[in-house]
Amino acid sequence: MDSNKRPETMLRINTKELADAFIAEQVAAVREQVGDKKVLLALSGGVDSSVVAALLIKAIGKQLVCVHVNHGLMRKGESEQVIEVFHDGLDANLIYIDATERFLTKLENVSDPETKRKIIGGEFIRVFEEEARKLEGISFLAQGTIYPDIVESHGVKAHHNVGGLPEDMHFEGLVEPIKLLYKDEVRVVGRALGLPAGMVDRQPFPGPGLGVRCTGAITRDRLAALRESDAILREEFDRASLTGKVWQFFTVVPDFRSTGVREGKRVFDWPVIIRAVNTVDAMTATVPEIDWAVLKRITQRILAEVPGVCRVLYDLSPKAPATIEWE
Ligand code: XMP
């Protein structure tokens, strides 16, 4: 039987009971597969790697070594949440690597979107590999592969996801406990494992992170404006109960300025673009009609709280012809 094919008889995991049964089954299977050996996992904090981490901690505890690489393109509070949930909460064996400087230096003056993606993806694997080599006696590599990753492979853009398999490293085997699950099932399993809602119901976040939303050559000032404006947007969408209703939302800081006036003086500052979309499969997308009062409040907050920004725009473009991300 092809172990990468979902059996037709497999039930859709949509209840706590089914999730618990799946977890018990996978815990036993993982224990059987790895015995007393060690397993390595790149833990980005996304839904898939987080669910794999929680499942493996339940199965093998400290035999799991999680490596979280902060590439400096994370959203506000994201790395902190990984540390809080897994290190502080679940007592995981977690190695935290702040590689911000390394990534931002490599990305300096690089403006082509696909080159940026390649640098981020490639550098991620190198950092992860370097850390893995320092560790002794790791036999298995765990991955958060899910069923759509196996089934689908093509897109308009090079979807380099961080956490690919380091090619020249030799592991006894791969541990992929959720590879037959669909995304909604992964979330049900995550909830059954006790992961926080903010982590399990997270909106999709591209592997290259904020890197594809700070258009053109990434600069630290624009990256900071992007991180702060994105945090404000998320806070205000939460407050307006839009989180979970709008499929994906974020801000973009483009690499051009516009004229503004502050305290009677002319300024030449960045715009912030709000992007919000609804979609079923990310192949096409529509733009939701956000309440004017919510947009106004977000605009006021960004203009008041984010340095270097003098203008806020709402992107009304559907996909197609626009893609969801700006790069
Ligand atoms: P686009 O911009 O192609 O995005 O309409 C469709 C969905 O894919 C996400 N996306 C990415 N995800 N690595 C990822 O893991 C990437 O390089 C990447 N580019 C886009 C995007 O956020 C949206 O959900």
* pLDDT tens figures, 202-231: 999 999 999 999 999 999 999 999 999 999
Question: Is the Cβ–Cβ distance between 239 and 230 less than 8 Å?
Answer: no
**63 CA → ligand 1 middle, Å:** 33
Nearest atom in ligand 1 to 158's CA: 17
Nearest atom in ligand 1 to 157's CA: 3
33 and 134 part of one domain: yes
196 and 254 part of one domain: no
51 and 193 part of one domain: yes
Looking at residue 65, its amino acid is V
User: What pLDDT, on the 0 to 100 scale, is given for residue 160?
Assistant: 42
In a domain, 320, yes or no: no
**206 CA → ligand 1 middle, Å:** 5
298 and 173 part of one domain: no
Among the listed residues 125, 63, 67, the one whose alpha carbon sits nearest the alpha carbon of residue 97: 67
Domain end: 174, 200, 226, which one? 200
pLDDT of 117 strictly over 50: yes
User: What pLDDT, on the 0 to 100 scale, is given for residue 14?
Assistant: 97
- Output the residue whose Cα is nearest ligand 1's atom 17: 159
- Output the residue whose Cα is nearest ligand 1's atom 24: 204
In a domain, 323, yes or no: no
In a domain, 327, yes or no: no
253 and 137 part of one domain: no
Q: Residue 219 belongs to a domain with what CATH number?
A: 3.30.300.10
For the stretch 113-151, what's the b/e string if a residue is b when 16 or more beta carbons lie within 10 angstroms of its beta carbon?
beebbebbbebbbebbeebbeeeeebbbbbbbbbbeeee
Query: Total domain count for the chain?
Result: 2
Domain end: 200, 230, 260, which one? 200
Least confident of 163-167, 183-187, 249-253, 311-315: 163-167
User: What pLDDT, on the 0 to 100 scale, is given for residue 167?
Assistant: 62
What is the reported pTM?
Answer: 0.92
In a domain, 7, yes or no: no
Phi, psi of 95 (to 5 degrees): -105, 125
130 and 195 part of one domain: yes
| CA quadruple 305, 306, 307, 311: dihedral sign | negative
User: What pLDDT, on the 0 to 100 scale, is given for residue 279?
Assistant: 96
**150 CA → ligand 1 middle, Å:** 17
Nearest atom in ligand 1 to 248's CA: 24
In a domain, 326, yes or no: no
Instruction: Give the model confidence (pLDDT) of 56-85 as tens digits.
Output: 999 999 999 999 999 999 999 999 999 999
Is the Cβ atom of 203 under 6 angstroms away from ligand 1? no
**323 CA → ligand 1 middle, Å:** 9
What is the rounded average pLDDT of the residues 110-128? 96
Q: Residue 90 belongs to a domain with what CATH number?
A: 3.40.50.620
Range of the domain at 71: 16-200
245 and 110 part of one domain: no
Instruction: Give the model confidence (pLDDT) of 125-170 as tens digits.
Output: 999 999 999 998 999 999 999 999 888 754 444 444 444 555 667 8
pLDDT of 99 strictly over 60: yes
What is the rounded average pLDDT of the residues 166-181? 87
In a domain, 4, yes or no: no
Domain end: 165, 200, 235, which one? 200
